[in-house]
Chain A
């Protein structure tokens, strides 16, 4: 590896005067096109972590092409092997992978909670693997907003406010400022009024807010989150995800978020790294990974090894703002459209079965045509509607959406309209909780089809 940091005799005695990364610190292979030019906040260079006795031997074995299982025979557990990553300032970077793939280990290498076996971790260009214990503590205090954990990890003997103030207390911030900032952070996560309560008196969701507030109170740039929402029940979980997105827009931290849930990764991640057997197998935006999976593992992952967590049309659909009824007159339909600022609507019958799609333009034409019916929408002028089964996997929906020029209707088993997927807004839709909480199995049968116009 030829990073300039590695070549420097001692980064400790020669602190980088300007911490913008030089080109050599930012090898092209790690940066995607979309992210070129962005400032690297946090980077891993050939980073490895092997647990157990004689880790170097396991690394040698791996370097000679051995697998994680081979290393295991030596009594070594490979947590992370040969990972290089650039994480940019202000992005939410998600680490995703199956259980045991090394996500938590990689996260803990980034602030050196785990001592790396090999490789470097660069925080603002500074190699923290060479720091003394005291210097490391200073970096953890100044650069990292602590960490948010799956099981909350808040202190049972402290009140909410004292828990939130923990990081500030450790830094030696004075009592008045500590209190002020802790109150601020507590309010930021919506726990105003709960400051004097003890953790045992709070629900899981509220406890995790305390964990989040504790991190935000420190107000350092980097926030590490390990399956922070995984212990919460689905509704609270979505709520917290939404709030994190909202918070992130305000505080603009560099977040590294570990999850094994594709839903969550797609929703939160600006970029996603997929891990398998201690290695990172692909890094990219949600779209890049969905449209161009690096290998069968990634493909299997997004197709649904964990089928329940794969997105379906139902997960990403939005509520239907308004529909035209078959018996609506053209004027009624046009007024509905105007009121909701729509240029077209799906036409449904009383059972909410989809019969077609009508645009404002065609309604105008119908009103001008003296021969056209006045008491209902002219079936001749309806277009076929594009509908998709609510269990249709995300990939199918994306394919369809990129072709269709109108909203896609989402229907249930009985053909009734349940929601719409708007073209070009799929990723935006990912940022909102789906309408139905169908955690069921994905039925691969839901092939998109065109419903004929007319009755």
Chain B
């Protein structure tokens, strides 16, 4: 039985890497004595995959994970049991069955919605103006490092939306970005774009990015 999970990675859990996240979940599933299906070979590993890995430092309200079970189980009961064993900041919020022979999780991921929160006071007007400037551009050429080579890519077709929102006077930046295997726009590229317009660029510690939603292709 193949199960798809929507889960959160928040609070201090944002400080753990993707690899450590997998280990952490694996151990929690073992503690909950989930009958995981294992791979064959000398080093049997649980059959598990996580979609569109989140970089260290980001938090998320919606991550996706697939795992396979040896037997059929009641998913409601499984969810309660697993949540008892997950560390604070990690929670399985939805579980559903998917066809065992279906397409891989990674091939289904299309876009992610990120929200940026700033610790440094940014002037609302200033940020709005910068966002407008970026939105007006026909092309957003951007240098990325790939396999130790710098390559210039156009971010524009991968940015589906970029806008600010206001919550009780606190300003948030929102970005809906393509995160498919053919085009993966990292949210920190957006910060770099904004920094081009700021006198005092944002440092890594001046903001926190949260993934709000991750969307799957409808077949």
Pair from one complex:
no
B interface residues (Cβ-Cβ under 8 A, vs A):
none
A interface residues (Cβ-Cβ under 8 A, vs B):
none
